Every structure is written in structure tokens, then in C-alpha cells.
Structure 1
Amino acid sequence: MVHIVNEEQPDFFSKSPQEGLMEALEYYEVKHPQIVYAQAVLETGHFKSDLCLNGNNLFGLYNSKKHRYYTFDHWTESIVAYLNYVQYRYKPPNDYYKFLSDIGYAEDPNYINKLKGIVSRNDKRRSE
């Protein structure tokens, strides 16, 4: 379990997910932040989905026991949930795309290719 032990809130807490997500992923030491960022873009339709806007769920995290999506008080909580429910199973240095595919993260058979496209576009933007 990841616990937030910090008296002072980092800057990203007052930002929207679009503005603060990469900073937050690094703060929480998420592995492969570019890929996880791409997952948030894909899962939320560029941060416009109802689940993102009203439930602060950036990754489409689903509670199979209650048969509904998780909702969070702040979008950063979905990062902690992602770490606790998904990424704890990842074994570095294995291929992260293969990991997501192996655990059946998404039902879309083109999910990994879509993620790779988003990562590639974001990498080009960062290097410009």
C-alpha cells in the first residue's frame, strides 16, 4: 500500500489532471510514467469523460465486487489506487506494455497500440 506521508501538499494538488498528472506520477514514483499518463489520456478521452470529471478516476479503475467504477475525492487518489491495484503486480524490468496486456488491463484489442501512439506523440511534443 502507498501512503501519503507529507505535511505540505505538492503544487500539483491545486492543478487539473492535464496540468499536474506527470508531476504527480513522478512524485508517487509510478513506474513508466509516460505510459501511465497515456493510459489516463486514453481512459478519460483527454480528461473529458464523466468518470474523470465527476469521479476523479483517471484510469477506468473498476470495483468488480461492487460492479461499478471507483470514484475518488481528488484525482491524485486514483494514482494511489492505480499503484495499489495495478502496478504493484509489475516486475521491473519487464516490458510494461506486455504487463498491461498480460493482466488484461483493457478489453480493447488495440489498447496497447493506442497507448504507444499517445506516448509517441507526447514524446515528440516534449522534444520540440
Structure 2
Amino acid sequence: MKNTLAFAAGFCTAALIAVILFTERPRISTVIRGVTPVIEKWNKAFEPIVDAGARFPEVVMSQFILETGYASSEVFLKNGNGFGMKHNKRGFSKGSQLGHADYGGDFSASLKDYIAWQQKYLSRYEASRGKKVKTNEEYIQFLVDYGYAEDKSYPTKLRDILSYVQKVHELKKQASS
């Protein structure tokens, strides 16, 4: 939970740094120095998604940000629900609270549930179309086709957050090289 809250603070900090730093086109070394603390917080949030075996981890990270309001939603803080999942029979949630699956505050259970959902429904989707989903955009289209979110503007919001996530990910790569 502390890591998740630190992650949320990191993204708020990153947004502020982006506004301050990227409007003046500084040297890349200045940018990397300024965002290193944000990148460290990013690792704590992004790596569990990768380690869990998520396909399209940058999109999944973007979903986490969107679904939790940067880790500040009541559903996330009380239930540990990072993806807006509903209670289901996969066995990861303890029931339903606030209209969503309740993981007892355990984000890792929420992530496992999302991965199980992704593996099951994405493989069915790919089989029905006779081809693999290979890009972030194709994965977002899968989410739309599947009806993952009720909000019609979900894909647009997700793409906006994804562009930010990709920028932070690129800075992370540059900082580590």
C-alpha cells in the first residue's frame, strides 16, 4: 500500500516535472537528473505488472492509473482494486464492496485477477479473429470490443495516459543506460 501511494505521488511529481522541464527543452542529462526520483517510484509500480506476466504492460499500467485516479480512488484504497474489476468466480476477490471486487486491500490479488482475466479473454479474442494482438493499439481495441469499460471515452483517456507512461518508460531506459 505504501509503495502504491508513493507511486501516486511519483506520478503527480512527474507531471509537474514534465510541465516545468519539457517546456524549456533542457539537455537530456538535466531531464534525467530531475526525474530520477520519479523513475525510482515508477519501478515500484511498473515492475510488479511486468513480473506478473501482463501482456502490454504499459497499457495495463495506464489502466491502473485511469481506474484508480492515480491510486487515489476509494475502490482502490479500501478494496485494493487497481483495475475496476467486478467480483467474479476466479477466486482472487473476497466479495463485492463499493460495486467492485474487494481484495481486502491487497493490490497483488487484484493484479493476479486482472492477469487471469487477460489470459482467458485475450486468448479467446485472438482465437476468434485468427491472429495475435501485437500492439498497444490492438490491445486497446480488444478492451473496447470486449466492453471492458462502460465509459465511451475510456479508450481516448487510456491513450492519453499511455503516451505519458511511454514517456516515463523511455526516460527510465535512458536513465539506466
TM-score band (shorter)? 0.7 to 0.9
Distance 1:82 1:114, change over 3 A: same
CA distance in 2, matches of 1:25, 1:83: 9
Deviates more, 1:88-97 or 1:41-50: 88-97
**Paired position in structure 1 for 2:154:** 111
Higher helix content, 1 or 2: 2
| Partners of 1:87 and 1:108 in 2: CA distance | 23
- Determine the C-alpha separation between the residues in 2 that align with 1:87 and 1:105: 14
Contact 2:53-2:115 within 8 A present in 1 as well: no
Aligned counterparts of 2:155 and 2:55: Cα–Cα separation in 1: 17
TM-score w.r.t. length of structure 1:
0.79
Report if the CA contact (8 A) 2:4-2:71 is conserved: no
The farther-off stretch of 89-98 and 36-45 is: 89-98
How far 1:106 sits from its partner (Å)?
0.5
Of 81-90 and 109-118, deviating more is 81-90
Report the counterpart of residue 3 of structure 1 in structure 2: none
SS at 1:70 equivalent: strand
- Give me the whole-angstrom Cα distance separating, in 2, the residues matched to 1:21 and 1:76: 11
Could you state the TM-score of these two structures normalised by the residue count of structure 2?
Answer: 0.58
Unaligned runs of 5+ in 1: 1-12
Q: Which residue in 2 is equivalent to 1:83? A: 115
Aligned residues: 116
Once residues 67 and 56 of structure 2 are traced to their aligned partners in structure 1, the CA distance between those partners, rounded to angstroms, is 17
CA, structure 1 residues 87+108, in 2 after alignment: closer, same or farther (shift >3 Å)? farther
Q: Which amino acid aligns with 1:117?
A: D
Identical pairs, percent: 28
Provide the rounded CA distance (Å) in 2 between the counterparts of 1:126 and 1:84: 25
**Equivalent residue number for residue 10 of structure 1:** none
Q: Distance in 1 between matches of 2:88 and 2:102?
A: 13
1:71 shift after superposition: 1.1
Deviation for aligned residue 1:47: 0.4
Q: 1:45 matched to which residue of 2?
A: 69
SS in 1 for 2:150: coil
Shift of 1:69: 1.1
Q: Does 1:71 align with 2:95?
A: no
Residue deviations 1:17-72 (CA, integer Å, cap 9, x gap): 63433111111110000001100100111000011111000001112797731111
Structure of higher CA gyration radius: 2
Unpaired stretches in structure 2, ≥5 consecutive residues:
8-40, 90-94, 127-131, 172-177
- The 1-side partners of 2:102 and 2:113 are apart by 10
Quickly say closer, same or farther: Cα 1:39–1:50, change in 2 above 3 A: same
